[in-house]
Chain A
């Protein structure tokens, strides 16, 4: 079973040379730590920066330079700043190559819910609805089950949707799955996790073909 860093490490392998990448808040933010340093990648933050760098050293924080999680950041050579409409133009216009975001629930048809729990949590969708509706290449980083052990990979989402039919790939703490033809297709198992365990933790339709390899991290 993977921890959050393990999920981020596996997702980092999907980041290719020359990609512009949008990272969501939470596990996706960790992906930047594991991207190979022999490839060129630029990270986009929806509040208006391309070419995000690491956090600043103490004393070098600039209140005017933050990421979408409102954390202080730095920029790398080649970086640029822009307004919010331009930022979402990049996203909506499919100029960003890869979007990595978290989810509370994903359904077998690719629906995703990650912004609202009625009566409990109403923080808003931020940029998530624009991202999932627009991006061609979306990877969802998530835990396979909730704290009570119930599956978060469902036949149908129970929470209010963020987008419909948009998720194509999931990296969970248990597996890598492709979402197509109204089913989760098991591609890889996390180290030490059996196909049986993944079946048990997946409420939606799961397709297992042949021998499923263990992830290489």
Chain B
């Protein structure tokens, strides 16, 4: 067994530097790597490029990095929940590359799976396709999109083991599996870190080969963005 465990978030983030490109899992605030984000805030590194579906809210998730002006560029599909984000974008402080959500996921998976690029119909005929190669297949038009290149991927899983194998829960899975192995170093934080052999190999979502460092996360807040309930009659 090749052991991937590190002592905690500080060891897990060893090597992060100003100007790097990071992938961060999560959809809204669901399944975000809370520990890694806190540590990036504490380290105070700047000029970061973040690949993440969303940009958090003003006071949580990637919003915490935005508050400290640590992010130079965001690559996301939807950023509507964050006022500070909008302010920084409109004032020109923050560079933003909006990417269709399926394309964003596939650019991660392509990086993970060794494809330099792929064709997708998403965005054809829109400003997203400006300057990109297009091509017709079977009478339909497609846009050539390139795989992401990133220094670190920070993902959050439900359970993991010493070998770096991961299991996700519910819709907290989202972009996390697509980002594993899609950067030079993948750091996984888990709610429950278990000895090798504890997880059934049949149930593993992401094999440990895609993960370089794994640690037991602390104090998960798991904030709910839109708490919506129905009444019992």
Contacts and interface: CB of A to CB of B under 8 A. Distances in A.
Interface of A: 45-49, 54-58, 60-67, 69-73, 81-85, 87-88, 91-92, 111, 122-130, 133-134, 160-165
B209 interface: no
A57 B126 CA distance: 41
Contacts of A55: 228-230
B138 interface: no
Given A92-B122, A124-B77, 20 more contacts: A46-B102, A48-B173, A58-B231, A61-B227, A63-B222, A64-B169, A64-B222, A72-B227, A81-B171, A83-B175, A83-B176, A85-B177, A87-B105, A88-B101, A88-B102, A88-B106, A123-B79, A129-B123, A130-B101, A133-B122
A134 B101 contact: no
B224 A61 contact: yes
B219 interface: no
Contacts of B81: 70
A203 B177 CA distance: 46
A111 B125 CA distance: 10
B127 interface: yes
A47 B121 contact: no
The list of the 4 closest CB pairs from A to B, nearest first, reads A88-B102, A123-B80, A130-B102, A164-B125
Contacts of B98: 122, 124-125
B223 to A, nearest CB: 7
Contacts of A134: 102, 121-122
A55 B232 CA distance: 11
Given A66-B30, A70-B28, A81-B173, A126 B230 contact: no
Given A65-B171, A66-B27, A83-B177, A124 B79 contact: yes
Given A49-B171, A84-B101, A64 B106 contact: no
A110 to B, nearest CB: 11
Contact of B178 (A46, A70, A84, A91): A84
Contacts of A62: 170
Interface of B: 27-31, 53, 76-81, 86, 89-90, 96, 98, 100-106, 108-109, 120-128, 158, 168-178, 205, 222-232
B224 A127 contact: no
Contacts of B176: 83
A129 B122 contact: yes
B27 A84 contact: yes
A92 B120 contact: yes
A127 B102 contact: yes
7 contacts: A57-B230, A84-B105, A88-B101, A122-B86, A163-B124, A163-B125, A165-B125
Contacts of A92: 102, 120-122
A134 B172 CA distance: 25
A64 B105 contact: no
A48 B105 CA distance: 12
Residue among A48, A73, A83, A128 with most chain B CB within 10 A: A83
B171 A48 contact: yes
A118 to B, nearest CB: 10
Nearest to B108: A85
Contacts of A49: 170-171
A162 B27 CA distance: 21
B173 A71 contact: no
A128 to B, nearest CB: 8
A134 B27 CA distance: 22
Nearest to A72: B228
Residue among A49, A65, A129 with most chain B CB within 10 A: A129
Contacts of A57: 229-232
